[in-house]
Amino acid sequence: MKADVAIIGAGVIGAAIAREMARYDLAVVLLEREVEPAFGTSKANSGVVHAGFHSAPGTLEASLCVEGNAMFDEIAAELSVPFRRNGCLMVAMSPEEVDVLREHLDRGRRNGVPGLRLLDAGEARALEPGLAPEVVGALHAPTSGIVCPYQLTFALVENAVANGVRFMAGSPVTSLHVREGRIAAVETAEAIIETTWVVNAAGLFADQIAAMAGDESFEIRPRKGEEYLLDKRVGSLVRSTVFPVPTPVSKGILVIPTADGNIMVGPTAEDVSDRLDLATTRAGFEAVFAAARRMVPAVSPRDVIASFAGLRAASSERDFIIRPSGVTRGMVHVAGIESPGLTAAPAIARMVVGILRDEGLEARARRGFNPIRPAPVRFSQLSRAEQARLVESDPSFGRIVCRCETVTEAEVLDAIRRGARTVDGVKLRTRAGMGRCQGGFCMPRVMKILSRELGVPLEAITKRGPSSPIAPYPAKALLREAQEEAGDGPGPAVAHVSHHMSPATGR
Amino acid sequence: MRADVAVIGGGPAGLAAAVAAKRAGAERVVVIERDVRLGGILPQCIHTGFGLKWFGEELTGPEYAARFVDEAASAGVEFMLETMVLEVTQDRRVAAVSPHHGFVVLQCGAIILAMGCRERPRGALVLPGTRPVGIFTAGTAQRLVNIEGVLPGRQAVILGSGDVGLIMARRLTLEGVKVQAVVEIMTYPGGLARNIQQCLRDFDIPLYLGHTISRIHGRDRLEGVSVAPVDDAKVPIASAEWFIPCDTLLLSVGLIPENELSAACGIELDPATGGPVVTDEMETSVPGIFACGNVVHVHDLVDHVTEDGMVAGAAAAARARVAARTPVLGEAGKDAGLESLQAIRTTGEIRPGRNVRYVVPQRFVRHGDAVPAAAAAAARTLTISLRPSEPAENVVLEVSIAGRVLRRQRKQKVRPGEMMQVNVDRLAIPSEKGDALTVSIVER
């Protein structure tokens, strides 16, 4: 297979780059090791579209964050992804912390963040009555927003594919072919893609991909963050995203209203050596709630409906790594993208295309590029009259699959048409299984629809890829296996059990 | 569309209510069921133990359900399958969707809520560790094994000793799965004594009381769990932790009455049960809307669910007759008949006293009031269901009003896992209003 450009990694960064490249008349391949986009760091992101007052002036983080933030209204509208500028407050709990607010006000102004304002305690509480009485002041950033990070990633990939990008899921890169100091091909388990340009957006594995081309100029040092999601019942605890003053390694533990109407608290920040370590801990749980309740006392661990961890693809460098490889020509690294990477994604994508062109990639605008990704139907959010009309036109809108989030069979079928291949893929696209019963009711139903639509047996349906089959054994398979192991001939399993037991029980 | 009585949920409570409503003379009785089949959770309960009280026979879940499905069908009850109710309103309209009937709005004489309960999921527990595949609520696993015909794994651990978990310990063992342990954080089992014997002891499955799972292991697929005893604050004691390999973890950590529709309708809920506050006729705080079965409070035995349903069905049929006599007035659909009925009816309260977690019903219709609808209340006996807060031995169950004891019952053993019932003679309840009946469990 031949391609002009191969992008490695379909997280939000790779997806945004793929969609940006789809504007040009190029053969682009987007490779993903997982079976669906967004299954790595992007699905565990906080979803905050940062205003840009955290980053040090002069860094790529600072400029790309502010630039990316300004692009969100348009990109969210084009891709039909829910996005809200809910504003954020960085709160101070002591006079010393008010000084930190002032520093960030200054930082933000230098970064070009619009609308920043210092609030006194009264103004802060007027904006967010849920704040603790100990809050003495806050920095308010009206441009801060929230988006659903995986919905955005899915939408970017979908729109890229609709504009001609080839998406290959379940395709971990096994090696890079380099000829005369230049990229020649990308090899996966199933294919060799001949290409002279590679974009390394491999997130947690970006250093390993770089090393495949002999480039060991940086190292990924994963930093884990635990997040705790609360029931929608308490979804209005705060309207704005609430930050503490930051720590040296992270923006601290936040109280975040999500794009879907929940409240999320987290994340922790813990350096880990294992890039697959997604375990939550009791210590993390305690730290998150202690920190969140200090700012918003009504946050309660009793309202938790889900907890998870994600890994930031932090690196050995202090800023985003967005540059051509100094070792192998044709390779551009987009690595070490931690917070505010989600916010910066659209700006990063633009910058990467610029770098590729500067490096010599010929890119002519594609005629007929369509930036619009049609909105998926969300039955639960429609009026009764609209619901009635839909059910009338397509009976599968009348079949409710997920009762907690009122997700219809039609929405699940649409998700599968848009690329869902796993139970998690359906869940992240439709919210089936994300409600208060967490899939207890709908999971077997989603499995059956996937089995029917993909034409595979129920035992082959997975949670998130080949190594996570949900119910891999047909009924009686284990009994038959035990029988064969015992060397018995064919016969009813029950007979085998009693035969096996008789010496032990003395019967 | 109109219905005299609409029943939301076609499980044992809803089926019994529909049958009773028909027997009591309701004309159009419609059962609205979201699944493709009737019976609620019963079709996946292929073990025996159902019906000992109601039928004097030991039936399987599907057999028990079939008896009511057959009776309801021959009585002329209408069924709407694969139909999900989206909304119930105080003026007794039900909005529902279905691939077969489209978008339906039913105007009802009376509504019976019989939505049952759901299982507490993992998220509510905050179990530290990874999120691999292989963790299921016990009921979901039961559906996969008994209805869909697939097995989740080879080696299982069960967290929580609720009845569904105990039943699944036995069921998985019979399917060739090695059940390593049942782990219960409380110092006493959550399920019925008979299930501890028949599902665990008979199969040599160890039960660890006062223990919990302190960590989940495994990346994509569950590889095992760390188990540890807990201290008095229910925090795992890390030094005493050990590892049990398994690829399947079932959670049987509690059931929650499913009252999203009730709450959205503005029906008063009891925080102790998680279900609507009901009278002894199973009427909720909204006139003309009744509730029965596990939506009211979680029962141990389906036979008691059936009893609830019978009471609710008969009372709802009587209410529907009143509603039918008085035409619907105005846009809001409020009717004078029910409102005035509600105004003249007086109820007393029933409250949980010492060592009683909850009582159902929480209200009772006072004897001697002129209540035309009260077919069920005409009976002399008032039956109160309750659960103790803590296990106790050699105690007395006492029902009293204004310091006067109406009823005393000796109990050798009481446990939160076993629902109790006590009967009170209505004629013995003093007629002065205002005082509440109190149910307590006291030292002998």
Q: Quick one: CA torsion of B171, B174, B180, B182, rounded to 10 degrees? A: 30
Instruction: Please enumerate in sequence order all residues whose Cβ is within 8 A of that of B232, keeping only pairs 6 or more positions apart, or say none.
Output: none
- B271 lies within 8 A of chain A by CB: no
Vertex B386: Cα angle to B385 and B387 (nearest 5): 145
State how far the Cα of A307 lies from the Cα of A301, in Å rounded to an integer: 11
Chain B residues within 8 A of A478 when measuring between CB atoms: 151, 154, 175-177
- Contact (CB<8Å) B123/A306: yes
Strand-pair partners of A304 = A230
- Contact (CB<8Å) A438/B122: yes
CB B24 within 8 A of CB B123: no
CB B162 within 8 A of CB B200: no
- Contact (CB<8Å) B176/A493: yes
Specify the pLDDT at position A397. Answer: 97
Do the strands A5-8 and B242-245 form a parallel or antiparallel pair, or are they unpaired? unpaired
**Active site annotation includes A50:** yes
Structure-token pair, residue B435: 């005082």
Specify the pLDDT at position B330. Answer: 41
E-assigned strands of A338-448?
Answer: 400-402, 407-408
Chain B closest-CA separation from residue A352 CA (Å): 33
- A456 lies within 8 A of chain B by CB: no
Give the pLDDT band of residue A507 (cuts 50, 70, 90).
very low
Q: Please tell me whether the overall predicted TM-score, pTM, comes out greater than 0.95 for this model.
A: no
Chain A closest-CA separation from residue B114 CA (Å): 15
What's the pLDDT tens digit per position in B212-269? 999 999 999 999 999 999 999 999 999 999 999 999 999 999 999 999 999 999 999 9
Specify the pLDDT at position B329. Answer: 46
Give all strands of the β-sheet with B356-360 in edge-to-edge order. B356-360, B381-388, B420-425
Chain A residues 230-289 with a CB less than 8 Å from chain B: 276, 278-282, 284-285
Chain A residues within 8 A of B80 when measuring between CB atoms: none
Chain A closest-CA separation from residue B298 CA (Å): 16
Give the pLDDT band of residue A505 (cuts 50, 70, 90).
very low
- Contact (CB<8Å) B84/A301: no
State how far the Cα of B71 lies from the Cα of A197, in Å rounded to an integer: 72
Chain A residues within 8 A of B82 when measuring between CB atoms: 398-399
What's the pLDDT tens digit per position in A244-261? 999 887 889 999 999 999
Mean pLDDT in residue range A268-291: 94
Specify the pLDDT at position B324. Answer: 74
> Half-sphere exposure of residue A447, counting CA atoms within 13 Å on the CB side?
28
Q: Kindly write down the DSSP assignment for every residue of B133-145, as one continuous string.
A: B-EEEHHHHHHII
State how far the Cα of A331 lies from the Cα of A325, in Å rounded to an integer: 6
SS3 of residue B412 by DSSP: strand
CB A354 within 8 A of CB A368: no
Chain A closest-CA separation from residue B1 CA (Å): 15
- B177 lies within 8 A of chain A by CB: yes
What's the pLDDT tens digit per position in B286-301? 999 999 999 999 999 9
Specify the pLDDT at position B333. Answer: 45
pLDDT reading at A490 higher than 80? no
What's the pLDDT tens digit per position in A389-443? 999 999 999 999 999 999 999 999 999 999 999 999 999 999 999 988 889 999 9
State how far the Cα of A21 lies from the Cα of A204, in Å rounded to an integer: 23
State how far the Cα of A25 lies from the Cα of A184, in Å rounded to an integer: 20
pLDDT reading at A84 higher than 60? yes
Specify the pLDDT at position B327. Answer: 54
- Contact (CB<8Å) B153/A448: no
> Half-sphere exposure of residue A353, counting CA atoms within 13 Å on the CB side?
22
Specify the pLDDT at position B1. Answer: 87
For residue A329, give the nearest of A186, A209, A184 by alpha carbon: A184
- Residue A69's H or E segment, with its range, is helix A60-79
Q: What is the 3-state secondary structure (H, E, C) of A404-428?
A: CCCEEHHHHHHHHHCCCCCHHHHHH
Instruction: Please enumerate in sequence order all residues whose Cβ is within 8 A of that of A497, keeping only pairs 6 or more positions apart, or say none.
Output: none
Query: Mean pLDDT in chain A?
Result: 94
Buried residues in A249-284 as b, exposed as e (16+ CB within 10 A) = ebbbbbbbbbbbebbbbbbbbbeeeebeebbbbbeb
CA distances (Å), origin B40, targets A388, B31, B69, B294: 26, 12, 11, 11
- A369 lies within 8 A of chain B by CB: no
Mean pLDDT in residue range B173-197: 95
**Worst-scoring range by mean pLDDT, A182-186, A297-301, B125-129, B322-326?**
B322-326
Q: Indicate the angle between helix axes A95-111 and A60-79, nearest 10 degrees.
A: 70
Tell me which of A305 and B75 has the higher pLDDT: B75
Give the pLDDT band of residue B179 (cuts 50, 70, 90).
very high
DSSP for residue A251: S
State how far the Cα of B221 lies from the Cα of B233, in Å rounded to an integer: 31
Chain A residues 63-82 with a CB less than 8 Å from chain B: none
**Worst-scoring range by mean pLDDT, A130-139, A144-153, A482-491?**
A482-491
pLDDT reading at A504 higher than 50? no
Vertex A425: Cα angle to A424 and A431 (nearest 5): 75
Mean pLDDT in residue range B192-199: 94
What's the pLDDT tens digit per position in A330-358? 999 999 999 999 999 999 999 999 999 99
> What ipTM goes with this model?
0.90
H runs (alpha helix) in A418-488: 423-430, 443-454, 477-485
Strand-pair partners of B145 = none
What's the pLDDT tens digit per position in A27-78? 999 999 999 999 999 999 999 999 999 999 999 999 999 999 999 999 999 9
Vertex A142: Cα angle to A137 and A147 (nearest 5): 120
Mean pLDDT in residue range A159-166: 98
Query: Mean pLDDT in chain B?
Result: 91
CA distances (Å), origin B98, targets A81, A387, A394, A409, B35: 28, 11, 11, 11, 10
Chain B residues within 8 A of A307 when measuring between CB atoms: 123, 126
**Worst-scoring range by mean pLDDT, A277-281, A363-367, B253-257, B377-381?**
B377-381
Do the strands B29-32 and B78-80 form a parallel or antiparallel pair, or are they unpaired? parallel
Strand-pair partners of B400 = B405, B438
What's the pLDDT tens digit per position in B327-369? 544 444 455 555 555 545 677 899 999 999 999 999 988 755 4
What's the pLDDT tens digit per position in A456-487? 999 999 999 999 999 999 999 999 998 888 87
Specify the pLDDT at position B428. Answer: 84
Count other Cβ atoms within 10 Å, centred on residue B194.
11
Give the pLDDT band of residue B433 (cuts 50, 70, 90).
low
Specify the pLDDT at position B335. Answer: 52
